[in-house]
Chains A and B, each alone.
Chain A
């Protein structure tokens, strides 16, 4: 059975169904300023996973809550009803909520909450199309949107996930690959400080394999981060309101 899945996901020359090598990420398209009314926004495509994030605030905290010297970060993730092949994927509500929590955890370490006391920054993420690696795409996109909104941040956060299928580690998996995985790792990193803000791991991993996977993810985040880092800059310089970043991939064969 294990052999079957491997056969299905990897071609005879060791490349994946979309011609990527296992350690290659999908081509990414990143753009800030996607929503006009928001204080900051960003749009990201990783392969055919498409997310849009807008940031509002800092604005007065609405809820009457206990006195707090620091600001609040409010994260909300939604899937459009057409994001998945099945309309309104089963159990999606729980998924949304969990993604919101994980997004918050990945970002709170990077945002300087002391810079906007008693106020709230809202981060709204919308997954337009879900094709694997949704959460890392949301995290990366949200950190760009926060930077676009002029929120004081310690660093840009970039995130990548990885699937383990049989013996293979597949970086930035597609939905198809995710459904057959034996285990997965998601890492979010503050790229220039090289600090992990969030990490999750499922499935059974030997220590060596776990550290290999973590290293692989952090290296990929690092590379991704370098590109992400440029996006708001490019926008500021008004060279264009978007930038395309093609990460290295094997040449397409005919």
Chain B
């Protein structure tokens, strides 16, 4: 898997390095892990059943009848289709993905949004809820007041509406749960660490923290917004939009953030950073697990980004995997 500790700045002592590599070895050996041969480098031969035929997918090339990888990543096989999914690459959007993005430009009738994809995504003025919540045609006045909704550098959550042939993508925020993000901060991880799930908005009620796992690798960690505390996001009926006008984009929902809440948000954020650096999948369970581990080990939030904590997280993961197996 190459160097597993990416984007980290600490140096490990020789004993820590030893412990880390042992734990990684155990993780690899544990049942359920992808077999080592599934990881390929550029130019590696991919084993395929030549007799029954195969379909050449993304990330592969045929040279002299042999199937070679063109990217570093994991071999994926679906029936006869063989492709390689790159691990370190930009976000590959799919329709329906929940993403977190940053507005880069306010253009006529649309916003450009950075979603860690190859191109900036487009959010059309017609694809957002206007304050007031009434469905109506967009007027010239709306167009002039676009910066009142979202301005440059604002962070938003949105859903991928359509993908186009030329690689461009359109977003929409036509739901109360989408819109401007407030009272928290952003952590970036590699997009492949976030699996597409049914639910990407999570409220960790026990901590009073809201977590948005953007499929594009942008994770938003914030205080639970007041409007959503009484409403269950996932079971929300579709017609509730008209009942709660404009809650998705309204400003000034600044809840009082206590120091304790900040510490909890910070611990969650650091848990995401650590998991991201160790290359473990990021989902609410793994985050809560890391959070609780840091508490039980008596580790301060700021010590969570130290080398020792990373090593212990990998060791712990190895133990859990070998137990399962």
Contacts and interface: CB of A to CB of B under 8 A. Distances in A.
Interface residues of A, number: 2
3 contacts: A66-B152, A67-B106, A67-B152
A193 B310 CA distance: 50
Interface of A: 66-67
Interface of A is mostly: loop
A210 B106 CA distance: 49
Contacts of B106: 67
A67 B152 CA distance: 8
Interface residues of B, number: 2
Nearest to B105: A67
Contacts of A66: 152
Contacts of B152: 66-67
Interface in B60-113: 106
Nearest to A67: B152
A66 B152 CA distance: 10
Interface in B88-141: 106
B120 to A, nearest CB: 14
A67 B107 CA distance: 11
A99 B25 CA distance: 58
B114 to A, nearest CB: 14
Nearest to B147: A67
Counting from the closest, the 3 A-B pairs by CB-CB distance are: A67-B152, A67-B106, A66-B152
A137 B106 CA distance: 43
Nearest to B151: A67
Contacts of A67: 106, 152
A205 to B, nearest CB: 34
A209 B152 CA distance: 47
A69 to B, nearest CB: 9
Interface string B151-170: 01000000000000000000
A66 to B, nearest CB: 8
Nearest to A66: B152
A67 B103 CA distance: 13
A146 to B, nearest CB: 29
A149 to B, nearest CB: 30
A29 B152 CA distance: 47
Interface string B290-317: 0000000000000000000000000000
A66 B106 CA distance: 11
A23 to B, nearest CB: 48
A111 B201 CA distance: 45
A190 to B, nearest CB: 30
B89 to A, nearest CB: 28
A67 B106 CA distance: 9
A66 B151 CA distance: 13
Nearest to A68: B152
A197 to B, nearest CB: 27
B101 to A, nearest CB: 18
